[in-house]
Structure 1
Amino acid sequence: MNIKYDKDGLTEFQQLVEGITPFSQDKRHFKPPVKSRKQLIEKEVHNQADSYFSDIYQPLLPITGPMRWRREDVNTMELKRLRRGDYIPELLLDLHGYRQTEAKLELAALIQACVQECQLCCSVMHGHGTGILKQQVPLWLAQHPQVKAFHQAPREWGGDAALLILVDIGDQPHRR
């Protein structure tokens, strides 16, 4: 190969790359794989559980009597209707045997399911057990923005081992 040298090296470069053909583009774009609807819903529930439920926050809950709580913008009559059992829970969640992290995820999924299915009331059975979930579930529920109120369930829905939850489903039409 006969190479001519010049001051800026342009002709030298042109002589070296003479006869070379560029690669053809194979049109592969490496995008992240498309996630299924189930994976997206699970991730959303996990994110909600992480963002809404804190183990540090301590809302003002009653020390004596049945476990109850309501948001400030909710009428006290709604809490009384929960206590009397006027609301019938359409969705039930049994947390027996769950760890705290699993219980948080299931609780977030329950509230999300209530909103999606336009259900005003649901029930969470935390059981007696060691009392960890019985203590933590009301603390978590008081933090969620879509929980209007909760009250200890009547005897037919689990008594003091369960809570009835009144969920804010927005402006969607609902039934009682």
Structure 2
Amino acid sequence: MAERDEEAARDEFRHALEELPLEADDVLSYRQESLPGRAWQRLKRGEISAQEELDLHGLDARTAESLLREFLADAREHGLGCVRVIHGKGRGSDDVGSRGAPVLKNLVDRMLRQRSGVLAFHSAPRAQGGTGAVLVLLARRRS
């Protein structure tokens, strides 16, 4: 029964991806209200160093989804505070939806918003990947 629930949740998540509202140059941005404003500003400016990085370029959505879940779980397990996820902009690739919007960028945005351990995320500064990458601030793992 748990497996069926998990599969139903995945199907619902993938169905939501069909809307694909974000475009290649759109900024990804999310913040939990509990995050102090100073930390949020530092993240947006790229002043918090990413301790690990995941590059999803060229992957299909199903593989990228699985790798991102594992990456975030592993990062939290190892007590990392900030990570970078490179999703690309979706220009000139096969990884665009029926409306021409970048699939991986939209997948990353939706997944990060649903993860309880994600305090905030913001598109990286230009020197760190710009709108083709996102810096993710993670909550500390509870003992």
Range of TM-score over shorter length: 0.7 to 0.9
Distance in 1 separating the partners of 2:116 and 2:13: 13
Letter of the 1:168 counterpart: A
The 4+ residue runs of structure 1 with deviation greater than 6 A are 61-65
1:80-130 deviation per Cα after TM superposition (whole angstroms, max 9, x unaligned): 111111211011000011111111111111111111221100000000123
Which one has the bigger helix percentage? 2
Relative contact order, higher structure (CA 8 A, sep 6+):
2
SS of structure 2 residue aligned to 1:54: helix
Q: Which residue of structure 2 lines up, in the alignment, with residue 157 of structure 1?
A: 128
1:70 and 2:41 are equivalent in the alignment: no
**Residue 156 of structure 1, CA deviation:** 2.1
Matches within 5 A, 1:11-90: 54-55=13-14, 56=16, 66-90=27-51
**Residue 143 of structure 1, CA deviation:** 0.3
TM normalised by structure 1 equals 0.60
Q: Which residue of structure 2 lines up, in the alignment, with residue 136 of structure 1?
A: 107
Q: Quick check: which has more Rg, 1 or 2?
A: 1
**Residue 165 of structure 1, CA deviation:** 0.3
Q: Which residue of structure 1 lines up, in the alignment, with residue 118 of structure 2?
A: 147
Structure 1 alignment gaps of length 5 or more: 1-46
Letter of the 2:13 counterpart: S
Distance in 1 separating the partners of 2:137 and 2:59: 23
Matches within 5 A, 1:97-136: 97-129=58-90, 130=96, 131-136=102-107
Report if the CA contact (8 A) 1:62-1:68 is conserved.
no
Report if the CA contact (8 A) 2:65-2:107 is conserved.
no
Equivalent residue pairs, number: 120
Report if the CA contact (8 A) 2:88-2:132 is conserved.
yes
TM normalised by structure 2 equals 0.73
**Residue 169 of structure 1, CA deviation:** 2.0
